[in-house]
Amino acid sequence: MKEFKREDREVKLFVGPQHPGVTGNMSFEITLEGDTLTSVKTHVGYLHRAFEKLMERRLYIQNFPLVCRICVPESDTNEENYARALEELAGIEVPERAKWIRTLVLELSRLQMFIRWMGGIAGTMGLSTAPQWAIGDRDYILDLFEELTGGRIYHIYILPGGVRRDIPEGFEERVLKVMDYIEKKLPDYDDLIFENSVFKKRLIGLSKLDPAWVEEIGVTGPVARACGFPFDVRKEQPYEIYDKLDFDIITETGCDMYSMALVRRREIDLSINLIRQIIDKMPKGEVWTPLPNVLYWKIPAGETYVKTEATRGEFGYYVVTDGSDKPRRIHVRGVSTPHAYTLLERLVPGMNISDFSVTIVGLQTCPPEIER
Amino acid sequence: MDIKGILKPLTAWKRAFKPPHTIEVPNKVTREGAERYRGFHVNDMDKCIGCGTCAAICENEAIKMIPINDPDKGNSGYRPRIDYGRCCWCALCVDICPTGSLEMTNEYTWVRETGDEFIFTPGIDIIGHEDKKDKGFKKDDKLNFLHLERVPMRELDPKERTQTFAEAVLGYSEEEARAEAERCVGCGLCISGCPDRMHIPDYIRAIAEGNDQKSLNIIYENNPLPEMCGKVCTRRCEFECSLGHLGEPVAIRWLKRYVVEQFDDLKKYVDAKPEPLNGKKVGIIGAGPAGLTAAYYLRLKGYETEIFEAAPKAGGMTFLGIPKYRFPIPSLDKQVELIESVGVKINYNSPVDSKKFKKIYDKYDAVFIATGAPKGMSMRIDGEDHPKVLAAIDFLKTINLGGTVDIGKEVVVVGGGNVAIDAVRVSKRLGANSYIAYRRRVVDMPADEEEIEATEAEGIPIYTQIIPLRVEDGPKGKVKLIYGKAKMVQEKEGARPRPVLIEGKEYEYVVDSIIVAIGQRPDLDFIPEDIRNKLEMEKRIIKVDKRQMTNIDKVFAGGDLANWTADAISAIADGLRAVKGIELYLSSKK
């Protein structure tokens, strides 16, 4: 029998490629000493669908059913980004009302994503009541999407030139009703999750970032804001009609998982507030500028980078056109790419193995957007 | 110790006593999908034309056009089949459908016993969800990927144009043509409408892409008279256009006109290289569209072709019959010049009689007769031989050849076809107060609707449901057309109503001239009697097979004398078929 040596104490394990939280297929090769992690290596490739390449072979309009799949739960950011890039390159004006509707869709999308995330983070800690609530409550927003766009997850609603349909009659009231409902439920979530002493105990101090990493690695979104960086594309470089809405950038200073969670919790309130503002101020008018014949639509040669604030951070599309009817190259900046690689690898040493999936969900990694 | 933080989560227990707010699927689904829900496809077979635009926009290639057994006229004969293994329910197909036939239901689930039912042709395969039509995602008027409105064509002011024989339609500018061409979805249904099967979507695409010369050469693949077609074609293609179902069809005719108008000297731009002569000779009688087409393409294939034309110019009825404000001489000359430049020999002013026909018959390896239908039909009423009664075709011919006709101040034109419209508009331009008398209603008129509109715009009245009874002498050297009114009787379901004379009451027009434009017939007197007796006829036209061959050895026929449609593009199609027929005939003879 082989004698047990101290240097053999390190164990290599694979986490994934099944969902390591509720995020998507991704694999982590972790090294353990006892139940403490010493390092991690992120492996992707299990969800690769070659979207960027596929888009080069399809007509501009045909890419809309593709882009919404780049981040499955938050499809609208992709549609809006891609549409805005094409509008910029082709010189298409979007009617004012369409911009308001787009912003409404984006905020509804953000809201459902954060509600879903609340369930996700609690679920990774074994608090399985929260996911039941979150998924149920999120469905009320999906019902709204179904009514507005015809789809619950993949909306294919934002097209260049505006949006596909005007909002149905009475839709505003129904949105406000759902907002009231969610707002009423939020204290329950606070009691269950954010003020839960177990939750606090596990998250405070967990995955503490060095604020210097934020700019070094390219960390954005709630993770950066939890380190006190006021990074928010909605304010920094307002798109659609964000410059007409009244809001402040949410920041926390803890640099840890708990601060990130608090940023996201406060973002929920902000989204509800923004949705109410949008419905209050939305102008009347057209929602669509006719496009050229979409089957032969050619866009003049050019390149552009457009970005939006997704739930996870700065989401961007770099689009190059060459005057043909198909894009020459599209590169998608998936927000969680730096989060899931470099940042995670730096955070992991010394972490308890049970906190690993909490960290992945806490950084809100989204493998589909890493593997475009 | 954080007592609050330990106790607070326990408040979640209060929810244990509340009923669930989620719905159990599939047993207890109590709600229907939203009105816009993108469920499963339904296709209205009464509306679908099988144009395939849905398949063109589908990024997943989930839609395949498959042939169906019983296509109606005007359809492609194909219907979209959808593969739910590939479909992603984006409904772009619904939004682009040119007829609005394709819709989606609001169903959530698609549970089937066999995998076969995941590939189905909505509307053909009945699978029991058809009643959910109108409940889900459907086409919206506001968002339209199609451009349903046509770029308007500029025309001379109606008042101004009745004073002159200058061209009434002005043609598209470059910008207008590109915009109009851009509307085409490229479905190709128009090809089925064109007797000549021109490659319409291809040349329209070339225009949209700014490549006029490419477009010109695509057109010249099977039409040597495109400027003529671009100006006066009966444009059967446009009636098939898929955009015509919800909007206006693409102006295919005007686009063709635009392309040819861009080139003054066609010889430089048309890629027409005749093959070296192969020693076979084809004689062609009549330089109308059919004769010119046959001569041009036969010459390109290496046959020596010679045309015998009675008139001083080529073009046939497009030269003699069509007024110059629709088809001016320079347009015609330009095209004939190209045809002659490849080596086609045209003998002008050389009418063919039976003696000459025999000579041609003996000299050439094949003979193509394309003399058209130059004789006006008679009304078969008393007094029709009155000197003030003119055949429209003779009247137009005289005017086009530069002659004069004394039609007086007041003219009635009898008929409702394009020739009647031409005759009445020419009379107006000659200064007469002219009008049309037609036995059916305006909607029944065989004339092109744009021509009818133009006539009305020029202030020319169209009197309908008028049946001429007889012609009599009128006062002061005038002539009287006595007529009765007709009522429209629908004899058979679906058939066009027939005008029936209302007996008893008679009315009259007292005019200076009566122009009769109720159709024409071929004149075959030039064919020697022995051949004419053997020649198989189909009523008043020559019977030909699908390669335009008559029952007489080495004699082919085409154009109005062998074709009931009797328009220029059908004559061109006949000419092309004759090219194939003659080629086959001569190559089999050796």
Domain end marker among B225, B241, B269:
B269
Q: Stretch A241-266: mean pLDDT, rounded?
A: 92
Q: At residue A22, does pLDDT exceed 60? A: no
The DSSP secondary structure of A131-157, one letter per residue, reads HHHHHHHHHHHHHHHHHHHS-SS----
Residue A4 confidence (pLDDT): 64
Interface contact flag, B4 A195, Cβ < 8 Å: yes
What is the total count of domains within chain A? 1
pLDDT at A2: 64
Query: Do B389 and B507 belong together in one domain?
Result: yes
Taking CB atoms and an 8 Å limit, are B182 and A296 in contact across chains? yes
Closest CB to B34 among A146, A164, A290: A146
Lookup result for tokens 């041009």: B296
The answer to whether position A207 is within a domain reads yes
Our measurement of the distance from residue B237's CA atom to the centroid of its chain's CA atoms, rounded to an integer in Å, reads 4
Contacts of B114 (CB under 8 A, 6+ apart): none
Q: For residue B479, give Cα distances in angstroms to B341, B390, B408.
A: 49, 12, 11
Residue A338 within any structural domain of the chain: yes
- Tell me the ipTM for this assembly: 0.89
The residue whose two tokens read 């419209």 is: B421
| CA–CA separation, B245 and B248 (whole Å) | 7
Average pLDDT, chain A: 89
Q: In Å, how far is B5's CA from the nearest CA of chain A?
A: 4
Report the distance separating Cα B207 and Cα B228, nearest Å: 18
- The enclosing domain of B183 has a CATH number of 1.10.1060.10
The CA–CA distances, whole Å, from A204 to A199, A253, A256, B53 equal 8, 12, 6, 58
Contact B7, A120 (CB under 8 A): no
Residue B432 placed within a domain: yes
Residues of B in contact with A290 (CB under 8 A): 144, 147
Residue B126: both structure tokens together: 């009945």
User: B578 versus A71: which is more confidently predicted?
Assistant: B578
Given an 8 Å threshold on Cβ–Cβ distance, is A296 in contact with B205? yes
Quick check: B111 contacting A, CB < 8 Å?
A: no
Q: Which residues contact B410 (CB under 8 A, 6 or more apart)?
A: B432, B433, B434, B478, B510, B511, B512, B513
> Is A1 inside any structural domain?
no
- Paired sense of beta strands B462-463 and B555-557, if any: unpaired
Phi/psi of residue B384, each to 5°?
-70, -20
Q: Are residues B508 and B382 in the same domain?
A: yes
Chain B CB contacts of A200 under 8 Å are 2, 5
Which of the four pLDDT bands, split at 50, 70 and 90, describes residue A126?
Answer: confident
**Total domain count, chain B:** 4
Give me A306's structure tokens: 């457009």
Paired strand residues for B119: B83
pLDDT at B108 (0 to 100): 84
Do B399 and B488 reside in the same domain of the chain? yes
Report whether pLDDT(A21) > 60: no
Rounded-to-integer distance, Cα A317 and Cα A84, Å: 9
Do the Cβ atoms of A154 and B15 come within 8 Å? no
Closest-approach residue (CA) in chain B for A288:
B143
Residue A271 parent element (H or E): helix A257-281
State which residues form the domain around B513: 376-520
Dihedrals φ, ψ of A44, to 5°?
A: -115, 175
Question: Same structural domain for residues B509 and B411?
Answer: yes
Per the CB < 8 A criterion, the answer to whether B575 and B370 are in contact is yes
Range in A43-52, A219-228, B226-235, B532-541 with the lowest mean pLDDT? A43-52
Q: What are phi and psi of B326, to 5 degrees?
A: -100, -40
Cβ-contact B558, B368 below 8 angstroms: yes
Looking at the domain assignment, is residue B32 inside a domain? no
Q: How far apart are CA A163 and CA A142, in angstroms?
A: 18
Task: Indicate if the alpha-carbon torsion angle A184, A151, B127, B114 is positive or negative.
Answer: negative
Q: Are residues B507 and B528 in the same domain?
A: no
Q: Are B37 and A164 in contact (CB < 8 Å)?
A: no
Domain of A258 in residue numbering reads as 6-370
Kindly state whether residue B21 falls inside one of the protein's structural domains: no
Among B421, B434, B370, smallest CA distance to B574 is for B370
Distance from CA of B205 to the nearest CA of A (A): 9
In-domain check, residue B346: yes
Q: Is residue B30 part of a domain?
A: no
> Nearest Cα to B56, choosing from A337, A309, A328, A297?
A297
Q: What is the CATH number of the domain that holds B297?
A: 3.50.50.60
Q: Which residues of A touch B (CB under 8 A)?
A: 58-59, 61-66, 127, 129, 133, 136, 139, 143, 146-151, 154, 156, 164-166, 168, 188, 191-193, 195-198, 200, 286-288, 290-296
Whether B539 and chain A come into contact, CB under 8 Å, resolves to no
B412 and B362, same structural domain?
A: no
B449-457 vs B418-429: helix crossing angle, rounded to 10? 20
Whether A246 maps to a domain, the answer reads yes
Q: Is B83 on the interface with A (CB under 8 A)?
A: no
Residue pointed to by tokens 């989401």: A315
Distance from CA of A359 to the nearest CA of B (A): 22
pLDDT over 70, % of chain A? 97
Do B389 and B334 fall into the same domain?
no
What Å distances lie between residue A228 and A29, A135, A223, B254, B571, CA to CA? Answer: 31, 30, 9, 66, 82
What is the distance between the alpha carbons of residues B543 and B527, in angstroms, rounded to a whole number? 15
On whether both B396 and B478 belong to a single domain, the answer is yes
Looking at residue A308, which CATH number applies to its domain?
1.10.645.10
- Single out the residue in B217, B234, B269 at which a domain terminates: B269
Are B383 and B368 in the same domain? no
Q: What are the structure tokens assigned to A193, written together?
A: 């999750």
Q: What is the number of alpha carbons within 13 Å of residue A121 lying toward its C-beta?
A: 28
Instruction: Give domain status of residue B31, yes or no.
Output: no
Number of alpha helices (DSSP H) and beta strands (DSSP E) in chain A = 15, 8
Question: Considering only alpha carbons, which residue of chain B is nearest residue A157?
Answer: B90
Query: Which among A28, A25, A122 has a CA at the least distance from the CA of A356?
Result: A28
Task: Report whether B68 contacts B2 (CB < 8 A).
Answer: no
Which candidate from A58, A146, A197 shows the least CB-CB separation from B59? Answer: A58
Q: Rounded to whole angstroms, how far apart are CA atoms B205 and B250?
A: 12
At A78 the pLDDT is: 92
Same domain, B417 and B516: yes
Cite the DSSP H helix spans in B438-543: 449-457, 529-534
Cα–chain center distance at B503? 38
Q: Other CB atoms closer than 10 Å to residue A6's CB: what's the count? A: 6
A-chain CB neighbours of B243 within 8 Å are none
For residue B389, which of B417, B402, B408 has the smallest C-alpha distance?
B408
Q: B401 and B512, same structural domain?
A: yes
| pLDDT band with cut points at 50, 70 and 90 for residue A95 | very high
Q: What is the pLDDT along chain B (590 residues), one digit of tens a residue?
A: 688 888 888 888 888 888 887 777 666 666 788 889 999 999 988 889 999 999 999 988 999 999 987 766 667 889 999 999 899 999 999 999 999 999 999 888 888 888 888 898 888 888 878 888 888 898 888 888 899 999 999 999 988 888 888 888 999 999 999 999 999 999 999 998 899 999 999 999 999 999 999 999 999 999 999 999 999 999 999 999 999 999 999 999 999 999 999 998 999 999 989 999 999 999 999 999 999 999 999 999 999 999 999 999 999 999 999 999 999 999 999 999 999 999 999 999 999 999 999 999 999 999 999 999 989 888 889 988 999 999 999 999 999 999 999 999 999 999 999 999 999 999 999 999 999 999 999 999 999 988 999 999 999 999 999 999 999 998 888 999 999 999 998 888 877 888 999 988 899 999 999 999 998 999 999 999 999 999 999 888 999 999 999 999 999 999 999 988 888 999 999 999 999 999 999 998 76
Dihedral angle sign, alpha carbons of residues A18, A20, A25, A31: negative
Taken as a whole, chain A contains a residue count of 372
Side chain identity at residue B352, one-letter code: V
Please name the residue of chain A whose CA is at the shortest distance from the CA of residue B60: A62
Task: Report chain A residues whose CB lies below 8 A from the CB of B142.
Answer: 165-166, 286-288
B513 and B388 share a domain? yes
From residue B75, give the alpha-carbon distance in Å to each of B61, B92, B97, B183, B565. 22, 22, 14, 20, 20
User: What is the enclosing helix (H) or strand (E) of B42?
Assistant: strand B41-43
Instruction: Lay out the sheet containing B304-308: strands in order across.
Output: B345-347, B304-308, B281-285, B366-369, B555-557
Choosing from B210, B237, B269, the residue where a domain stops is B269
Single-letter code of the amino acid located at B204:
I
Question: How far apart are alpha carbons B443 and B369 in whole angstroms?
Answer: 35
**Residue B138 placed within a domain:** no
B217: number of Cβ within 10 Å:
17
